[in-house]
């Protein structure tokens, strides 16, 4: 009797710990955000960039000389201007890097990465016009949440909310919808400011 009792208690405990483990695993799998794809050996220099798989489609990881994290549009412009003056190769990187091909790698190992990780603010919401102004590093999740706070919604989106608006609009990953203009998010953009390298004549 005693043995049976302790056995069943043991069984119960095993079951319970398995359940806890299962709950833990499910929680862990669905909720852990991807690690930062940029790793630097000193503060912002001597870095590597990869994607959320940990390597690009050819199995490699790219070397870059420097990674910068602007927090405002002005800062971003000055970084791009300086790199342009110095004829430096640069690429845009994001907080989670979802591309399998190595689009994000600057040519060679002396390149500069400019991350949109901290360009992630909602700048303005106009409820009447049903428009929202955001920086390019804002995630789809943030956009949906910010819109919901004022009773707005996005009826057309790609399937995963971890992607950022800049990447979403520039690569055009679409889902499907049966109404309105369709599901291409860029079809709903009313205004866009793009910062690119240019000569002194463009300021």
Which residues sit at the interface with ligand NAG, rule CB under 6 A? Answer: 41-42, 46, 95, 117-118, 120-121, 142
Q: Whole-number minimum distance, CB 45 to ligand NAG, in Å? A: 7
Which tokens in the block code for residue 36?
A: 């930062």
Among residues 98 and 117, whose Cβ is nearest to ligand NAG? 117
Q: Whose CA is closest to 68, among 55, 58, 81, 53? A: 81
Q: Identify the residue whose tokens are 């001597």.
A: 46
Structure tokens of 37?
A: 């794809």
Taking the least distance from each CB to ligand NAG, the nearer of 91 and 117 is 117
Minimum distance of ligand NAG from residue 99's CB (angstroms):
19
Inter-residue contact 66 to 136 (CB < 8 Å): no
Q: How far is the CB of 142 from ligand NAG (least distance, A)?
A: 6
Cβ closest to ligand NAG, residue 41 vs residue 86? 41
Closest to ligand NAG by CB, 168 or 183: 168
CB of 134 or CB of 183, closer to ligand NAG: 134
Which residue pairs, CB below 8 angstroms and at least 24 apart, start in 51-54? 51/97, 51/98, 51/99, 51/100, 51/104, 52/96, 52/97, 52/98, 53/100
CB of 96 to ligand NAG, least distance (A): 10
d(Cα 199, Cα 12) in Å, to the nearest integer? Answer: 72
What b-and-e string marks burial along 10-36, b requiring 16 or more CB atoms within 10 Å of the CB?
eeeeeeeeeeeeeeeeeeeeeeeeeeb
Q: Are 138 and 169 in contact (CB under 8 A)?
A: no
CA distance 127 to 146: 11
Closest separation in Å from C-beta 197 to ligand NAG = 25
Nearer to ligand NAG, 119 or 183 (CB): 119
In angstroms, give the least distance from the CB of 42 to ligand NAG: 6
């Amino acid at each position: 009797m005693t043995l049976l009792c302790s056995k069943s208690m043991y069984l119960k405990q095993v079951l319970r710990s398995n359940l806890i483990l299962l709950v833990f695993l499910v929680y862990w799998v669905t909720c852990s955000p991807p690690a930062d794809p940029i790793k630097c050996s000193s503060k912002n220099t001597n870095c590597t960039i990869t994607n959320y798989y940990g390597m690009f489609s050819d199995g490699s990881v790219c070397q870059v000389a420097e990674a910068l994290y602007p927090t405002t549009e002005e800062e971003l412009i000055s970084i791009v201007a300086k790199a342009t003056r110095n004829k430096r190769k640069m690429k845009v990187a994001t907080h989670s890097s979802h591309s399998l091909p190595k689009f994000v790698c600057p040519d060679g190992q002396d390149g500069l990465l400019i991350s949109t990780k901290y360009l992630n603010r909602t700048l303005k919401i106009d409820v009447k016009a049903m428009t929202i102004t955001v920086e390019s590093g804002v995630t789809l999740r943030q956009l949906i949440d910010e819109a919901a706070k004022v009773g707005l919604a996005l009826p057309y989106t790609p399937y995963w909310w971890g992607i950022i608006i800049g990447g979403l609009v520039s690569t055009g990953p679409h889902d499907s919808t049966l109404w309105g203009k369709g599901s291409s998010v860029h079809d709903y953009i009313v205004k866009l400011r793009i910062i690119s390298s240019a000569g002194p004549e463009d300021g």
